[in-house]
Each structure stands twice: as C-alpha cells, then as structure tokens.
Amino acid sequence: MKKSQDILVEVVTHFIDEQSEPSANRYVFAYTITIRNNGNLNAKLLTRHWVITDANGKIQEVRGEGVVGEQPDLAPGETYQYTSGTMIETSVGTMGGSYQMIDEHGHPFDAEIPEFVLSVPRTLH
C-alpha cells in the first residue's frame, strides 16, 4: 500500500494586496502547491480537503474534486504545480488538509498537506 509520505507537498504563499480590503476584514492570499510523487507507483489526485483557520478561530472546510479543475496523475518522480487562492477575515491564518489519491493498483490513500501560515507581510516577526 502506498504511504502518504510518498507524496511530498510543498507550499509557497503570497498576500494579494490589491484584492484585499482590511477595513472590511477581507484578506486574500494565493498559494502555489508543488506535489511530488516520491513513490514507485503512479498516483492520481481525486479530491481535496482543506481546513482554513483565521486568527479568530473561524474554520472553513473546503472539499472538492481535483485541484484547479484537474485530477493530475503523477508517475514516480513527477511533479505537478498549481496556484489557487483563499480569503480569510484576519491578517493571519493557517491552511492544511489532505489530497485523496489512488495508486495504479486502485488502492486509495490520503496525502497530507502540512499546515502552513497565511500572513500579511510584516504581521508576523
């Protein structure tokens, strides 16, 4: 059975100042995800599950098919990268979750998305 750690997920975040409106508690962030198949079997991403938490403790859970309209199928050693975004009500928050995947033998598994911080520049030191 494929292990979650065979799929490496790396994240880079970026605050989108021009789409944000702090006076209205609207903070928009982009995140670029790189998914790498470090295993020895093909792995297809089927669905995603995000847990997004703002500094007030408000939690948004997002579930859906694929990522940015795609369900990438990664051969061993391959990477897939995409950029998406989210909006929270505070200048700092966190995101994390998992991708529900299936290997080439039809065995489902979850690939963990390690929790990462969303932060307006110069908010955290």
**pLDDT values of the chain reduced to their tens digit, one per residue, 125 residues:** 455 669 999 999 999 999 999 999 999 999 999 999 999 999 999 999 999 999 999 999 999 999 999 999 999 999 999 999 999 999 999 999 999 999 999 999 999 999 999 999 986 55
- What confidence score (pLDDT) does residue 1 get? 46
- What confidence score (pLDDT) does residue 123 get? 64
3-state secondary structure 47-66: EEEEEEEECCCCEEEEEEEC
Residue 9: CB atoms within 10 Å: 18
Burial of residue 74 (number of CB atoms within 10 Å: 0-12, 13-18, 19+): buried
Residues 6+ apart with CB under 8 A from 44: 71, 72, 73, 74, 101, 102, 103
* Boundaries of every domain in the chain: 4-116
Residue range 4-116 forms a domain whose CATH class is: mainly beta
State pTM to two decimals: 0.90
- What confidence score (pLDDT) does residue 122 get? 80
- What confidence score (pLDDT) does residue 5 get? 63
The answer to whether residues 18 and 110 touch, using CB atoms and an 8 Å cutoff, is no
- What confidence score (pLDDT) does residue 106 get? 94
What token pair was written down for 84? 């998406």
